[in-house]
Structure 1
């Protein structure tokens, strides 16, 4: 490879003074946008091929440029490429190195394009692939939740369901697993929707107004796997809503994972004792030998803030930028990279950890029987006997107060105490107050009754097959 003896910027024709060193460091993005190198070269290969097909470049020129780009890609993938700060960004590093390799003909690569449409294309390629990759990881975690729901259904493991973090009604653990599977299914859909909406090519939009060259934007769009070229050249280089939509989907996804993390942290405490998390995904204390800390879940909960910050940061960047390209948009990439990397790890960790968790059925069943969790079942019994539900609610509320004051459960009240409140009540209704009877009675579509949960598991498995 020959060495370029000129330090002149590729854009430096208009400038008589060298760039200030601090400005050069402040302006450079190669430290992070080199991550787009593969996308940049793919886009350049598509662009130069189109220039040849359109007769804008000669066949020999296309061949030399193509060969040089492929050499550069090989060097980058092997870790043998020298990234230079004075060449600012990924695009200028690649183009300058291409010039070092093949000489002045390298300058013809930039015919009929700008760094503005170049970076927009590279970034769309990356974000589209990131959305598709996260959708696949989300689907894998969703499949884990469905598998865990199936594993804990026969016999059904029961647990307390909560509102306001107070015991509310008993539910099946499988029902709890399916709740998160539903959330993740929507998350996967949001990511795939975002990938589909951003599947348009900015390449050929130029700086902002298009180009006088007879290019074929349909050809470059097809070569890069885009569905179509973007319709408006100004929009093509100015818009970052595709990155915002991706980050929005990421933020909602990690919000769901943060809620999961919070529950697992609580459920794994001594006070709850519902689940033991695997040693492989927990850590100990440097001073307290008995400790087993849920670090994966705590970090996942904490890293939600990073992803939320990525979304809010990019919203703030773009909110005041006039059309078309502004240097502010250089700040669009690091937040996307960070959100993608964060979620890629969290999704994989949870898919690995959940099947190894040990759920304690006896402890959960005992917890589900406390806190008067079947009081609503008693109110429903009275309402089914003809009492208006609001009156039934008041009657049972009084019984709960009586039981609470005397330190008993509802089924421990005597016949006399029950009948004194309402003639429909007797000790015979105690059979309706078990957690098993309560869970089994919830037969409405989407309810927690085991046969309903079983149907939902089968439906979830079918959707996983369809989406695959």
Structure 2
């Protein structure tokens, strides 16, 4: 967090100048020296020494080596307690933009595929059992919408995090009446913390980030699980590219979905980071305690893991191949049993009765060992007089899919509306980039 620590220190130096605790010349020297320190960090020339307890003392020590005595005035009224909380918030506000971009990129890949492959039909599943016909695009967008919700929650998190703790001191506040609002504005925070004791001990924003990251990891894991199943020989709906799968070390006929399995495995570990850190917070007394030092490890680990998961998911989704014929062949007429019930409802039969009658139709087809469509009209009329010749229209997968035209359904018009809404979302100015 060297960059965030340096930018916070430069802003704090200017706040001290405004209340005459630093002269203009001293402030300029401090800012110039801090810029030199930043350059050393970026070029890899910064030398960490034995007495450097943390990023704050390391930067201040090096600043003194560069500019001398004025460096010793910078820390007046400030504590590492409010400094580290500020640095972490600045780091998160800056780096979560990369996660926002990753989520948007993955959604963009899904939306593109959905628009290009909108006519591919496949089974939809509940309880991992074939349930009803759906569009492949509808399936893809189901995952895209989960990620879109994650993206929205990231925006909410960022707003809640944009509250500056700097100026809280160790716990009692700042005794020199610095202008905290002006200081917050210079660091692009939206608000300032109202209570200094709460400010230095607050790590809710870390816990919230970890939980948010856990949920994204869970959503990516569920996507991975679906694609793992669909890539198996038993399904055969998709093939993964060689870049995101590997050959077996023993069985040459196999290609393993390693990229997706890593997403699934690492995605679960994100919740481990969240759980362990929340338990650190559970029994802490007021204000700052050294236990909180574990916040950075959890934050950095979760960020790195999630960033890598998004990168792999983007590549996997972009390069996989859909086997349209296999998807189509997996459809079976018993998946239209619900459509039989809907047919009867449209004939005026109450749904509960229609559902029961549709069950009898299924039972009759199983008894005779024929497809639903092979039952004669006469056999159907023995079950219900409401069956007519137009029952033939039910035995069509496209007709089945196209009846779900209500918002959120799998009909082509409904899927096209989903695509349009997500495209609007993706085309909007990325608000995070302007903050």
Q: Please give the alpha-carbon distance, in whole angstroms, between the structure 1 residues aligned to 2:32 and 2:61.
A: 15
Matching residue within 298, 302, 307 for 1:344: 307
Is the Cα–Cα contact under 8 Å of residues 132 and 195 in structure 1 kept in the other structure? no
Gap runs ≥5 in structure 2 = 431-435
Query: What does residue 30 of structure 1 align with?
Result: none
- Alignment match of 1:119 (pick from 84, 90, 100): 84
> Which residue does 1:456 correspond to in 2?
418
Q: Is the Cα contact below 8 Å between 1:144 and 1:354 reproduced in 2?
A: yes
Q: Are 1:445 and 2:407 counterparts?
A: yes
Which residue is equivalent to 1:39?
4
2:343 equivalent to 1:381: yes
1:205 aligns with 2:165: no
Cα deviation 1:170-191 (Å, max 9, x = unaligned):
0111111221121111100111
CA deviation string 1:306-328 (max 9, x = no partner): 21011111211111112101101
Secondary structure of the corresponding residue to residue 335 of structure 2: coil
In the alignment, the residues of structure 2 paired with residue 280 and residue 399 of structure 1 have an alpha-carbon distance, to the nearest angstrom, of 48
Shift of 1:298: 0.6
Q: Distance in 1 between matches of 2:368 and 2:202?
A: 66
Q: What residue is the counterpart of 1:133 in the other structure?
A: 98
- CA RMSD in angstroms comes to 1.6
Secondary structure at 1:459 match in 2: helix
Using the size of structure 2 for normalisation, the TM-score is 0.95
Cα pair 2:113 2:137 within 8 Å, conserved:
yes
Give the Å deviation of 1:467: 5.1
Residue 4 of structure 1: aligned partner: none
In structure 2, C-alpha distance between the alignment counterparts of 1:197 and 1:368, rounded to whole Å: 47
1:264 maps to 227
Measure how far apart 1:406 and its partner are: 4.2
3-state SS in 1 of match to 2:408? coil
Deviation readout 1:243-273 (Å, 9 max, x if unpaired): 1121221111111111100000000000000
CA distance in 1 between counterparts of 2:347 and 2:389 reads 16
Deviation of 1:132 after TM superposition, in Å, equals 2.8
Aligned residues: 430
The answer to whether 1:221 aligns with 2:221 is no
Gaps of at least 5 residues in structure 1 are: 1-35
How far apart, CA to CA, are the structure 2 residues paired with 1:253 and 1:189? 12
Residue 360 of structure 2 corresponds to which residue in structure 1?
398
Matches within 5 A, 1:276-425: 276-369=239-332, 372-425=334-387
1:368 aligned counterpart, secondary structure: coil
Matched, 1:107 2:69: no
Give the secondary-structure state (helix, strand or coil) at the position aligned to 2:255.
coil
For structure 1, which segment, 285-294 or 256-265, has the greater mean C-alpha deviation from structure 2 after superposition?
285-294
> Whole-Å Cα distance in 2 between the matches of residues 341 and 86 of structure 1?
28
Counterpart position of 1:238: 201
Tell me the equivalent position of 1:430.
392
